[in-house]
Amino acid sequence: MAVYRRTSRPRFTLLLLILTSVTLLTLSQRGSTSGVIGAVRSGARDIFAPVQRVVTSATRPVGDFFAGAVHYGDLKKENGRLRQQLNEEQGKVLQATDAERERKALLDQQNLAYLGDIPTVSARVVDASASNFQQTIEIDQGRSSGVAKDMPVVSGAGLVGRVIEVSRTRAVVLLITDPTSAVGVRLTGSGDVGVGSGEGQRNPLSVDLIASATVVKKGETVVTSGLQQSVFPPSIPVGKVRTIKKVPSALLQDITIDPVVDLKRLTFVKVVQWSPSK
């Protein structure tokens, strides 16, 4: 039977490398700098270079991991700083947008041609009713500014409502969409007059007393009638015709109008210093 005998070549090679290393170290300690020693040392570097590359490649990921762990805290702080800076910039953009919206709202309040020379009091909306049963807003002007009960309230686009409560520095305004609100109106096309009534926040106003024979167009503007003893002066825009329904043999039409004012986004209004006695 053949007996397997391990070769001693690898062991011999390893021993030779060890002896060479020891010799080089000894000569180096003695200060030898001859050309022969330099050549031997250079050859040893070439022999051990592959081993050094393997060791370096194996240990580099570990070193990178610890370096990353050391700098993780700094990266986290920098990320937080950048996030805060981004939030601040977004806040500035939102503030600028809101300021521009208010600027436009104020400009819309200037020189309301439909009021003529009737004096007004400018006011800011400070609160809105949370009730589903009454549609109101509160403004920051009251008796001390010349505001009185039943005075009309308008915005740049048209009619908002009328004052129903007044204190020294505040007033409550009933919106035209409130179910208890009624306003005398006139169709700009035919000149026929009727009564616009609120039907709630999410519903258009209904217009009554328009004869069946009257021609009414969708999108037609409806304004305040301003009849004698009316709470509202004439020609204030109220809404635009949304629907027209004629019932056969009926004397009147069923008409609805959408308010021209966005009552959900009021910022500034004007109280019209008008009374029915004028």
Contacts of 175 (CB under 8 A, 6+ apart): 135, 136, 137, 160, 161, 181, 198, 263
pLDDT value at position 105?
59
Q: How does residue 210 score in pLDDT terms, banded at 50, 70 and 90?
A: very high
- In degrees and rounded to multiples of 5, residue 248 shows phi and psi of -55, 135
The stretch 4-9 carries a mean pLDDT of 53
71, pLDDT greater than 80? no
Domains of the chain: 13-108 (no CATH), 120-278 (2.40.10.340)
Q: Which of 268, 261, 262 is nearest to 236 (CA)?
A: 261
pLDDT value at position 89?
74
69, pLDDT greater than 60? no
The stretch 108-119 carries a mean pLDDT of 83
DSSP letter at 274 equals: -
